[in-house]
Structure 1
Amino acid sequence: MVELDSHDATARGHRPWRSAARVRAGTARGTGGAARARLRLGAAVSVLVLLALAALLVPALSSAPGTVDYQAVRLPPGPGHPFGTDTSGRDLFVRSLAGLRVSLLVAVVSTVVSTVLGTAVGAVSGSLGGWADRLLMRVVDAVNAVPHLLLGIVIVALYQGTVLAVVLSIGLTHWATVARVVRSEVLGLRNRPYVDAAVSSGAGRWWVLRKHLLPAIVPQAALSAVLLVPHAVFHETALSFLGLGLPPHLASIGNILSDGREGVLLGAWWIVAFPAALLVATTLSVSGIAAVWRDRAVPTRRSELAL
């Protein structure tokens, strides 16, 4: 009988060594995936740190980053000018890094505005529930329904193209995404045992929100902020490229690309190519960090919800 059962199990395909092989293969894939994730994270962090240090130090150490030299107009990349010069004879290497510094600063400040506003709205909406939640979510839907760039142009026009206008145009058009994510987190946390215990002991709604819910949503809000940085950089670049962003005298990637349009028509491709490459490298590195962070957070979040 034992031999017959063993034969039947083998016939049905239940082979223990195959199951063990699958387990080993799955473990190997998991280990390889973790190694690749660490490699991607290390590469992204290295590129971002290198670009940030260059953007901070190179313009500061340069004697005259914005010096105009009409004897050196549209020089191609060479030993004296690694990125060449622009239509005014300015060194494009130094100016591009100075522009990257400005664009990153504007993007980070705008992201902070979006994250703070979105976290506040999402936390209050998820905590209150009822008609207040429905009302706030309709506001979020209305903001998301309008194209961000179009709404940003309207805000910039109201403030006459100042730095504050650009920060507000980005911060006030991207907060709704953060609000929806934070609200979802709060809704998942409201029914946790420790929250129920706090409510049962007589704790007020705002005390629970401040002491229990807000600390728990900080990681997700921070991840949303990192994911917003590339959008903010491209938003500032688009506004400045259209002539609606930062003042023309203030170097940013968008202003440099806008100034370089004429040079490209004259064959000076480097005026646009190198600043655009810095922009792409920066946004890809930030997106890579956010992607690895998100992939690591998803399994953790699932395991927490299973408790």
Structure 2
Amino acid sequence: MNRKKAIQLMKEHKSYLFPVIFLILLSVLALIAPLLPIDPNATDVTQMSASPSLSHLFGTDEVGRDYFIRVIYGGRISLLVGVLAMITSTFIGTVVGVVSGYYGGFIDSLLMRFVDILSSIPWLVLVIVLSVLLKPGLVTIIFVIGCFSWMSIARLIRAETLSVKEREYVIYAQFIGVKNSTIIRKHILPAVMPTLIVAATGSISSAIMTESALSFLGIGIQPPIASWGSLLQNAQASLQQAPYMAILPGLFIILTVYSFNSLGNYLRELSSVEG
């Protein structure tokens, strides 16, 4: 992407500035969290459910653990789930979409009917059932979200592929006998990449929301690992005496999802300007 155009678009639409800065700061905090001199599991019975203060920026939880570092570590897990689930769903969706759109015919019909079948099942119900059947944990939640959230990406990439394969340079490459795998690698994939990048940002926010919902229901991330969803679940018992325990992780979820969606809109506008 053109750097000058990216900066110019950011200047014209300053509403995109906050999401970018927020995601950068959140990512940096998540990366350096192990270097911070605070143990997320250290308890202090003299500071149980303490309100936010200079010594504990986000207060403490019901057993005296520093809530700031708990939220940051929870963010590490939520972002990890979002990114890895996005990579999984994007890979599957891209393969299915490109193969279906490029080859067409029986292959297209077969793959799209399979997509229709999976799409007809209420997705959250499907994810909940699979999460219950499989052993709850980080790997399971990434696998479940990633492997059952690719259908919309597949449809999107298929539509883009159908458009790209009708372009003259693709038709000419087919005419002179270039291998299909080469055409897909050199012509189809680069052409659909801008759309794929935009879809990927939305996929991250959806994965974070799903993980948070599942963890809140108790079938997602399991203790002692914490995520924003599990922090919300744990906060239910302390809503009256420590409402910040629910407000803070909830606020981080909202801001993160908003930021990734805004980033997707920014990339979409940027790709249209460059196009």
Relative to the length of structure 1, the TM-score reads: 0.83
How far does residue 298 in structure 1 lie from its aligned partner after superposition? 3.9
Give the Cα–Cα distance (whole angstroms) in 2 for the partners of residues 299 and 149 of structure 1: 36
Specify the alignment match of 1:224 in structure 2: 199
Give the Cα–Cα distance (whole angstroms) in 2 for the partners of residues 115 and 298 of structure 1: 21
Spell out, residue by residue over 1:275-294, the C-alpha distance to the aligned partner (whole angstroms, 9 max, x if none): 11112111111111111111
Matched, 1:244 2:219: yes
Specify the alignment match of 2:233 in structure 1: 258
How far does residue 82 in structure 1 lie from its aligned partner after superposition? 1.3
Any unmatched runs of 5+ in structure 2?
1-7
Matched, 1:272 2:246: yes
Any unmatched runs of 5+ in structure 1?
1-32, 302-307
How far does residue 300 in structure 1 lie from its aligned partner after superposition? 5.2
Specify the alignment match of 1:284 in structure 2: 258
Q: Which runs of 4+ in 1 moved over 6 A?
A: none
Corresponding residue SS for 1:260: helix
Spell out, residue by residue over 1:104-134, the C-alpha distance to the aligned partner (whole angstroms, 9 max, x if none): 0111000000000000000000011012111
Corresponding residue SS for 2:218: coil
Specify the alignment match of 2:269 in structure 1: 295
Letter in 2 for 1:146: I
Spell out, residue by residue over 1:175-202, the C-alpha distance to the aligned partner (whole angstroms, 9 max, x if none): 1111011101100011111011111101
CA RMSD of aligned residues (A): 1.7
Corresponding residue SS for 1:80: coil
How far does residue 66 in structure 1 lie from its aligned partner after superposition? 1.4
How many residues align? The count is: 268
Q: Percent identity?
A: 34
Give the Cα–Cα distance (whole angstroms) in 1 for the partners of residues 113 and 60 of structure 2: 50
Spell out, residue by residue over 1:63-120, the C-alpha distance to the aligned partner (whole angstroms, 9 max, x if none): 3121122221111111211111111211111100110011101110000000000000
Specify the alignment match of 1:304 in structure 2: none
Specify the alignment match of 2:134 in structure 1: 159
Give the Cα–Cα distance (whole angstroms) in 2 for the partners of residues 185 and 221 of structure 1: 10
Relative to the length of structure 2, the TM-score reads: 0.92
Relative CO higher for 1 or 2, CA cutoff 8 Å, sep ≥ 6?
Answer: 2
Give the Cα–Cα distance (whole angstroms) in 1 for the partners of residues 15 and 114 of structure 2: 37
How far does residue 43 in structure 1 lie from its aligned partner after superposition? 2.1
Specify the alignment match of 1:93 in structure 2: 68
